[in-house]
Amino acid sequence: MTDIATRWPDLDPDATVSGGAGREASEDLDGSLLCVGVEQETHDVKTFRLRPPAPGRHSFQPGQHLTVTVSVDGHPEQRCYTIASSPLQPDELAITVKRVPGGPVSNWLHDNLVPGDTLPVTGPTGRFTTAEHPADKYLFLSAGSGITPLMSMTRTIDAMGEPADVLFVHSARTPADIIFRSELREIATRNRGIRVVAVCEDDAPDEPWTGLRGRLTLPLLESIAPDLVSREIFTCGPPPYMEAVRSILVSAGADPTRCHEETFAFPGIPGPQIGANAHDPQPDGVRVHTVEFTRSGRTVECDGETRILLAAARAGLTLPSSCGEGVCGTCKSTMLEGSVNMHHAGGIRPREIAQNKILLCCSTPCENLVIDA
Q: How far is the C-alpha of 175 from the C-alpha of 185, rounded, in Å?
A: 13
Please give the DSSP secondary-structure letter assigned to residue 4: P
When pLDDT is cut at 50, 70 and 90, the band that residue 8 belongs to is very low
Q: H or E element: which one contains 76? A: strand 75-82
Torsion over CA: 238, 308, 351, 70 (sign): positive
What pLDDT, on the 0 to 100 scale, is given for residue 275? 32
Arithmetic mean of pLDDT, 74-86: 91
CATH 2.40.30.10 residue ranges of the chain are: 17-124
Are 329 and 304 in contact by the 8 Å Cβ rule? The answer is no
Q: H or E element: which one contains 194? A: strand 194-200
Q: CB under 8 Å to 315, separation ≥6 — which residues?
A: 272, 298, 300, 301
Residues of the chain with pLDDT > 90: what percent? 67
pTM: 0.75
State yes or no: pLDDT of 269 exceeds 80.
no
Arithmetic mean of pLDDT, 273-279: 33
Arithmetic mean of pLDDT, 246-274: 73
CATH 3.10.20.30 residue ranges of the chain are: 288-372
Q: How far is the C-alpha of 228 from the C-alpha of 162, rounded, in Å?
A: 22
As beta bridge partners, residue 98 has 45
What is the distance in angstroms between the CA of the first residue and the CA of the last residue of the chain? 44
Residue of higher predicted confidence among 299 and 7? 299
Q: How far is the C-alpha of 35 from the C-alpha of 114, rounded, in Å?
A: 7
Residue of higher predicted confidence among 105 and 8? 105
Q: CB under 8 Å to 85, separation ≥6 — which residues?
A: 92, 93, 94, 152, 155
Are 152 and 58 in contact by the 8 Å Cβ rule? The answer is no
Helix boundaries (H) for 203-272: 218-224, 239-252
When pLDDT is cut at 50, 70 and 90, the band that residue 286 belongs to is low
State yes or no: pLDDT of 18 exceeds 90.
no
As beta bridge partners, residue 359 has 332
Q: What is the pLDDT of residues 171-229, one digit of tens each?
A: 999 999 999 999 999 999 999 999 999 999 999 999 999 999 999 999 999 999 999 99
CATH fold of the domain at 138-262: Rossmann fold (3.40.50)
Best CA proximity match to 62, nearest among 83, 89, 33, 93: 83
Best CA proximity match to 131, nearest among 175, 69, 87, 66: 87
State yes or no: pLDDT of 276 exceeds 70.
no
CATH 3.40.50.80 residue ranges of the chain are: 138-262
What pLDDT, on the 0 to 100 scale, is given for residue 264? 55
**DSSP string spanning 11-72?**
--SEEEE-------------EEEEEEEEEEEETTEEEEEEE-SSTTS----TT-EEEEEEEE
Are 122 and 30 in contact by the 8 Å Cβ rule? The answer is yes
Q: How far is the C-alpha of 57 from the C-alpha of 76, rounded, in Å?
A: 28
State yes or no: pLDDT of 365 exceeds 50.
yes
Average per-residue pLDDT in the chain?
A: 85
Rounded to 5 degrees, φ, ψ at 148 are: -65, -45
Q: How far is the C-alpha of 30 from the C-alpha of 147, rounded, in Å?
A: 24
What percent helix, strand, coil does the chain show, rounded to 5? 20, 30, 45
Helix boundaries (H) for 118-175: 147-160
Q: Is the CATH number of domain 288-372 3.40.50.2000?
A: no
Residue of higher predicted confidence among 282 and 300? 300
Q: What is the pLDDT of residues 307-325, one digit of tens each?
A: 999 999 899 888 888 777 7
Helices and strands (H, E) in the chain, number of each type: 7, 20
State yes or no: pLDDT of 149 exceeds 50.
yes
As beta bridge partners, residue 118 has 34
In this structure, CATH architecture of domain 17-124: Beta Barrel (2.40)
